[in-house]
Amino acid sequence: VNLLVNGEVSASIAALDRGLQYGDGLFETIAIRRGRPRLLSLHLDRLASGCRRLGIQPPDAASLTAEIAAVSPAPEAVVKVIVTRGGGGRGYRPPRDASPTRIVAGFDDPGFPPEHRVQGVRVRSCETRVAQSPALAGLKHLGRLEQVLARAEWCDESIAEGLMRDEEDRFACGTQSNLFAVLGGELLTPRVDRCGVAGVMRRVVLQWAAGRAIVTREVGLSDGDLHAAEEVFLTSALIGAWPVAELDGRGLRRGRLSTEFMQWLDRD
Amino acid sequence: VNLLVNGEVSASIAALDRGLQYGDGLFETIAIRRGRPRLLSLHLDRLASGCRRLGIQPPDAASLTAEIAAVSPAPEAVVKVIVTRGGGGRGYRPPRDASPTRIVAGFDDPGFPPEHRVQGVRVRSCETRVAQSPALAGLKHLGRLEQVLARAEWCDESIAEGLMRDEEDRFACGTQSNLFAVLGGELLTPRVDRCGVAGVMRRVVLQWAAGRAIVTREVGLSDGDLHAAEEVFLTSALIGAWPVAELDGRGLRRGRLSTEFMQWLDRD
């Protein structure tokens, strides 16, 4: 792993950093494709808007862009950016003079099986529920413990992702992806104003659909919705889009929308 | 600040530690009184049970106890213990071979005004809501961003604490304390099975009340409940108990229960 902390090569951060102490920060996970960060401006945009929502000074975009390039280990790779509120003493109150901590880490490409994009993936529904938190909903904040617990629910390597329900028993998201379904010709995806993350690729899909006059709606999705759907797929900055072939052992119908989206995303 | 990381003097932790990356860990904040950690066995008990809930190996109690003593800077002080799942690569899935990280930090006594215990404190109600998260409820986990945002809502130094509501508009907790009210002679405190932290001092209060045949009930508390109450008070490992004298500028009634509890807690 290649690591930069505030622009300097370092494998460590202060133990009193508020990112560790309180989860007081945000992150972005960026796909490097053909040597370039994919959807970089959308990542920078979400990071800056999240920082503003938390009252953290957003990082300088030019410096961050250079650091992302510097840590990327290969033309196909992953770069994770963390911005925390910085150091500080004990207590939740954000210090006035806090200076944010910026961590940029380059990882090898996760090497997802290419057939995931073509044949689709097997997914399961998780017991671990996702929190209803209007204050944090949409933010890609550092508190990911629910996702950790959900991901710990299964060891079967052939299960690519787990879906998490909200308290009303509607599917809200994957542990590391956003969820879409095509139902009655409409493109549906759960809202992100009470739980979940406003994924960068989710945004791209919604914009792409709007440009094609596909009706989109933000709604919770029940188990019945997913089994009735013409198509179900998952999105994230890293995976792009994966059709869901099977949920909890039952096959789902397969449509064309996610394939068309992936072809558009891969265009040059 | 005196700091030990895994028993060694160190001011830093690995930038890839899952405590920072995912909030994948727990903490305890322990009051040092007359040179000894107050309610230590309850803190160790909660930490171990939280670790088991998360599948993290709990720290050795004897080592941790020695480290708490070693970092404490004075007879009256605060020690914060953090246990994370440890290092690991990218991805939510807990690594099988993770070795937990243990951070023990000694801080000066926060120096709360002694009159808080006698005259009571002024508190406000926060706009920031506390998440409903059955998976994490009760745990003192590292994701405290909601509490940070709630604490950032006020700068008035004469306001000692903020109360946070759940989504049903009931008061669930303070930003760093548990909430109690005496109503109709019963001792009421919000449940901690959907949100909030199962505070060590909360547990002590409930046990103390049970030993005195005081009826206790775990229920959400409305604004009206607090204004009708014979007495409202806050508890935490650090503060013990503070009567609430004023909520959002309106005076509250004052009772004797919190004073009696504090006298019992301070007995020797």
pLDDT of residue B89: 72
Q: In chain A, what is the greatest distance between 2 CA atoms, to the nearest angstrom?
A: 55
pLDDT digits (tens, 9 = 90+) for B257-266: 999 999 999 9
Question: For residue B242, which of B110, B142, B145, B140 has the smallest C-alpha distance?
Answer: B110
Residues of chain A contacting B20 with CB distance shorter than 8 Å: 13, 17, 19-20, 82, 84, 142
At A157-213, the pLDDT tens digits run 999 999 999 989 999 999 999 999 999 999 999 999 999 999 999 999 999 999 999
- ipTM score of complex: 0.96
Using the beta-carbon criterion (under 8 Å), do A110 and B91 form an inter-chain contact? yes
- CB proximity list for B36: less than 8 A, separation 6 or greater: none
| CA atoms within 13 Å, Cβ hemisphere of A220 | 15
Quote the pLDDT of residue B268.
66
Within 13 Å, how many C-alpha atoms sit on residue A215's CB side? 5
Which of A152, A178, A149, A148 shows the shortest CA–CA distance to A163?
Answer: A178
| Binding-face residues of B in 30-59 toward A, CB within 8 A | 54-55
Query: In this structure, what are the phi and psi dihedrals at residue B141, rounded to the nearest 5 degrees?
Result: -90, 170
Distance of CA B11 to CAs A59, B7, B103, Å? 24, 12, 10
A182 vs A38: CA distance, rounded Å: 26
**What is the pLDDT, as a whole number, of residue B144?**
97
Contacts of B71 (CB under 8 A, 6+ apart): B2, B3, B4, B79, B104, B105, B106
Interface test with B, best of A145, A173, A175 (most B CBs within 10 A): A145
A133 to B146: CB separation less than 8 angstroms, yes or no: yes
Residue range A17-51, pLDDT digits in tens: 999 999 999 999 999 999 999 999 999 999 999 99
Is the pTM for the entire model greater than 0.80? yes
CA B49 – CA B180 distance, rounded (Å): 24
Asked if A186 and A215 touch (Cβ cutoff 8 Å), the reply is yes
- Matching residue, tokens 């070693």: B70
Cα distance between residue A59 and residue A40, in whole Å: 14
> Do residues B122 and B116 touch, judged by C-beta distance below 8 A?
no
Q: A178: closest CA among A159, A161, A155?
A: A161
Which residues 6+ apart lie within 8 Å of B49 measured at CB?
A: none
Q: How many whole angstroms separate alpha carbon A164 and alpha carbon A229?
A: 18
Q: Give the pLDDT confidence of B32-57 residue by residue, as tens digits.
A: 999 999 999 999 999 999 999 999 99
